[in-house]
Amino acid sequence: MDLASQPHRRYNPLLDEWVLVSPHRAKRPWQGQQETSEVEVRPAYDPTCYLCPGNARTSGAVNDKYEHQFVFDNDFAALLPEEVKSEELRVESVVPAEGPILHPSLLTYNFLRAEAETGRCRVICFSPRHDLTLPEMPVSEIRRVVDVWTDEYRMLGADPAINYVQIFENKGFVMGCSNPHPHGQIWSERTVPDLPARETRAQRAYFEQYGRSLLADYLALEEKTKVRFVVENATWVALVPFWAVWPFETLVLPRRAVQDLTQLSEAERDGLADIISQLTIRYDNLFEISFPYSAGLHQRPTDGAEYPEWTLHLHFLPPLLRSATVKKFMVGYELLANAQRDITPEQAAERLRALPAVHYKVGA
Ligand code: H2U
Ligand code: ZN
């Protein structure tokens, strides 16, 4: 089988699912939507921005006049802590015994289930500069962001009511990001959400069978050919996973398998900042735009149990396909049957690898 030209399926061992790869389709003509990319010039400080230092937010709270990073509780949090929940929601399972919307047979089979969920949501401003993004920030400042993530993971995870901490960034309006000021979010909650729960199951099954980390073994395999490597340093590797769904999706893996940020050495934290810088610079250089993505960390749950099978990693999930304006749509077959892609992960890695290491705006 020729993976570069023949339609085939690839297995994602982290999520126990498949992706259909159709390399021969990459040449098909595109007559769909063409969006115009706007070259956006932003001021270093925007008096109307709710994330800039010293400005007031919608809630009326005023941001610190911060010089590096700034973290606050989300004023429109998707999850609320236990103490602010209404009496009604405190019931573990909200299944009314009888009522007009529930037929008794549904109750018998427990089809309609709901339960209260609690948590705490935070917003992190990566920089006081309104006009920067991670790829334009100095590595020393990204390193401070890594430290803030680590402190937040530790602080939130120490709360007995928090069993999972999801750190992420939505970058670009196309990803639903509400404000260009560089920022990320943290949602932390009582239950482990679906995707990290599936990753836990997969990593645990592998660990129980082989006594080793699934992702460490995967990295060792990739190291042999490096065909899917994008950038690497002494402590981290960014690669396009064999099972990538999004055209330029990447997985960032530590060379030493650790379960969460708090276990990283100083050198590994420096390395993480460096790999994020290297990778996001290449992303921006691909179409010479501020490259949109959703990205985030996956770490072990914080319920206090041991997770020897877990390996900390980052996913970068960018929507763009062939230009600054043509994105991949998850539609049709993807929504109804299976994830699918045209350009192969190896081709995507090759393109990203070939890009300059210096940001296109520098010296432009
Ligand atoms: P996104 O751009 O990824 O949506 O993140 C911005 C977050 O900032 C969003 O979750 C919050 C929104 O709820 N926010 C505040 O907490 N205070 C504000 O004054 C505006 C936005
Ligand atoms: Zn701002």
Pocket test for ligand 1, best of 70, 74, 134 (most atoms within 8 A of CB): 74
The strand ranges marked E within the chain are 8-12, 17-21, 70-73, 119-125, 164-171, 183-189, 229-232, 236-239, 250-254, 293-298, 313-317, 339-341
pLDDT at 33 over 80: no
* Cβ 215 under 6 angstroms from ligand 1: no
Tokens 């334009």, located at residue = 136
Kindly report which listed range (173-177, 242-246, 327-331) carries the lowest average pLDDT score.
173-177
CA of 317 to the centre of ligand 2 (A): 24
CA of 63 to the centre of ligand 2 (A): 11
pLDDT at 91 over 70: no
* Cβ 121 under 6 angstroms from ligand 1: no
% of the chain surpassing 90 pLDDT: 79
pLDDT confidence tier of residue 87, bands split at 50, 70 and 90: very low
CA of 127 to the centre of ligand 1 (A): 15
Return the pLDDT at 146. Answer: 98
pLDDT at 294 over 60: yes
Return the pLDDT at 103. Answer: 58
Return the pLDDT at 93. Answer: 45
Read off the pLDDT of residues 178-236 as tens digits, 9 standing for 90 and up: 899 999 999 999 999 999 999 999 999 999 999 999 999 999 999 999 999 999 999 99
The single residue of 8, 24, 103, 183 carrying the catalytic annotation is 183
Q: Which residue CA neighbors atom 3 of ligand 1 most closely?
A: 177
Provide the whole-model pTM.
0.92
pLDDT at 84 over 80: no
What is d(CA 295, CA 22) in angstroms, rounded to the nearest whole number?
25
Return the pLDDT at 88. Answer: 45
Return the pLDDT at 90. Answer: 44
Task: Kindly state the helix (H) or strand (E) to which residue 267 belongs, with its residue range.
Answer: helix 266-287
Convert 160-221 into a string of H (helix), E (strand) and C (coil): CCCCEEEEEEEECHHHCCCCCCCEEEEEEECCCCHHHHHHHHHHHHHHHHHCCCHHHHHHHH
Return the pLDDT at 114. Answer: 83
pLDDT at 251 over 90: yes
> In 51-64, which positions are buried (b, 16+ CB within 10 angstroms) versus exposed (e)?
bbbebebeeeeebe
* Cβ 73 under 6 angstroms from ligand 1: no
Return the pLDDT at 92. Answer: 44
Q: Is 68 a catalytic residue?
A: no
Kindly report which listed range (53-62, 95-104, 346-355) carries the lowest average pLDDT score.
95-104
Read off the pLDDT of residues 334-349 as tens digits, 9 standing for 90 and up: 999 999 999 999 999 9
CA of 74 to the centre of ligand 1 (A): 6
